[in-house]
Every structure is written in structure tokens, then in C-alpha cells.
């Protein structure tokens, strides 16, 4: 079920840059009545994820120190989920507790039409199951999937679709006992790629 919708102005790219009102960023579906990891133990991997997702046990030990972001950026740090990422200083940050250990972090600048979200949910498997993918991506669309590495985690990057957001760029990966689902409008593909290159596990 959708938990919230955050308004964001999305710019249409073409010969002119037109600002229009639109809705962006919704919480990925989480069923708090179920164990978030239970659907992966004996389930087939979702198509496109069979070799692209890796995992490791929950991180322990001291956190790495804060990093110095480049000019015009800030560092977002999650000590709970043990990651850090640089984001443009014009974005505002909101965090939402989705229950059962899941969270959604929304970073956006409505006036500039820029933003992305990170959905994090506890996950114990080594692959994303078909059930999990259908739960978090009801459209079932995964176009042009590619494997890449986010810091030390193997990830799958693909184009998806949402009835409110439209076409999306998605990056999903498992690390430290969590499934991370990063999403942004497809038109922000390169912009999101620059941000994701700064992602580090702490």
C-alpha cells in the first residue's frame, strides 16, 4: 500500500524547460504484518536480479567518520543503515519510518524539479525475490537491467514505471542485511548517477 505522496515540480526536458506540477516520490510498499525478509528464503529470484545482487551480514564495529563533501554538496549519513551519500545542498531531506525496520528517505528540490528517494528494508537473502519485486514495484516493469557496483555491493540498475511518477531510473542492491531501492524520474538518470557514485557504506 502507498504510505505517502510528496509533491515535487518536475521539469519537462525539450527545446524549453517547462515547470509543471506533479507528484513524485512514494513509499515503496511494505507489509508490516509480515517479516520483511520472509518472502525471500525459498522464492525464485526476480528476472534480472539472478546474478546482480549480493549481500553480507549486518555491519558491526565503529562507524566510519563523516566525509567532507565537494563544494555545493552536503553529506547524508544514516547510522542505522550505515551509509553515506553526497547530495546537492539545494535539496531538502525528509525521513519516514515505514515500520518493521523499513525507512524512506526523500531528498528533493521542488522548484528545480530534482529529487530522488531511498527506500530501505531489512532483508536477509542474497537475491531479490519475485515476490519482493512485485511488492515494491507493482508495475512489474524492469527495462534494460544492468549490473554495477555501489561501493562494495553488487547492484542492478534498470528503468521502471510508476503510475504517479511515470518512467523511473531505479538502482537496487543488498548490503549489511538491508535491501536498498533508490529511485528518481528517468529524466534525472545522469544526475542520479553522479550522486550514486558518491555512495559509501560506513
Asked if 9 and 23 touch (Cβ cutoff 8 Å), the reply is no
The C-alpha atoms of residue 107 and residue 111 are separated, in whole angstroms, by 13
What is the pLDDT at residue 11? 39
Confidence of residue 26 (pLDDT cuts 50, 70, 90): very low
**pLDDT at 164 > cutoff 80:** no
Domains and CATH numbers, the chain: 5-201 (3.40.1000.10)
* pLDDT tens figures, 72-126: 999 999 999 999 999 999 999 999 999 999 999 999 999 999 999 999 999 988 8
Say what the alpha-carbon torsion angle 196, 109, 22, 99 is, to the nearest 10 degrees.
60
Q: Among the listed ranges 24-33, 39-48, 55-64, which one has the minimum average pLDDT value?
A: 24-33
Q: Comparing 115 with 40, which gets the higher pLDDT?
A: 115
**Alpha helices per DSSP H over 3-146:** 130-136
**123: its cell numbers:** 532483508
Mean pLDDT throughout 18-45?
Answer: 44
What is the pLDDT at residue 36? 44
What is the pLDDT at residue 4? 31
**pLDDT at 53 > cutoff 80:** no
**pLDDT at 190 > cutoff 80:** yes
- Whole-prediction pTM: 0.81
What is the pLDDT at residue 162? 83
Amino acid at each position: 500500500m502507498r504510505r505517502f505522496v510528496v509533491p515535487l515540480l518536475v521539469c519537462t526536458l525539450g527545446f524549453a524547460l517547462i515547470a509543471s506540477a506533479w507528484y513524485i516520490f512514494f513509499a515503496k510498499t511494505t507489509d508490516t504484518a509480515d517479516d520483511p525478509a520472509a518472502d525471500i528464503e525459498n522464492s525464485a529470484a526476480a528476472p534480472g536480479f539472478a546474478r546482480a545482487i549480493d549481500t553480507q551480514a549486518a555491519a558491526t564495529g565503529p562507524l566510519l567518520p563523516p566525509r567532507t563533501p565537494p563544494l555545493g554538496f552536503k553529506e547524508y549519513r544514516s547510522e542505522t543503515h550505515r551509509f553515506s551519500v553526497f547530495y546537492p545542498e539545494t535539496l531538502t531531506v525528509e525521513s519516514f519510518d515505514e515500520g518493521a525496520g523499513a525507512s524512506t528517505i526523500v531528498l528533493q528540490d521542488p522548484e528545480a524539479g530534482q529529487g530522488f528517494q531511498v527506500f530501505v528494508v531489512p532483508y536477509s537473502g542474497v537475491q531479490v525475490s519475485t515476490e519482493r519485486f512485485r511488492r515494491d514495484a507493482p508495475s512489474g516493469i524492469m527495462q534494460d537491467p544492468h549490473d554495477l557496483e555501489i561501493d562494495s555491493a553488487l547492484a542492478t540498475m534498470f528503468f521502471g514505471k510508476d503510475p504517479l511518477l511515470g518512467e523511473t531510473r531505479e538502482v537496487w542492491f543488498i548490503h549489511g542485511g538491508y535491501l536498498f531501492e533508490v529511485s528518481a524520474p528517468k529524466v534525472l538518470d545522469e544526475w542520479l548517477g553522479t550522486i550514486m557514485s558518491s555512495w559509501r557504506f560506513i
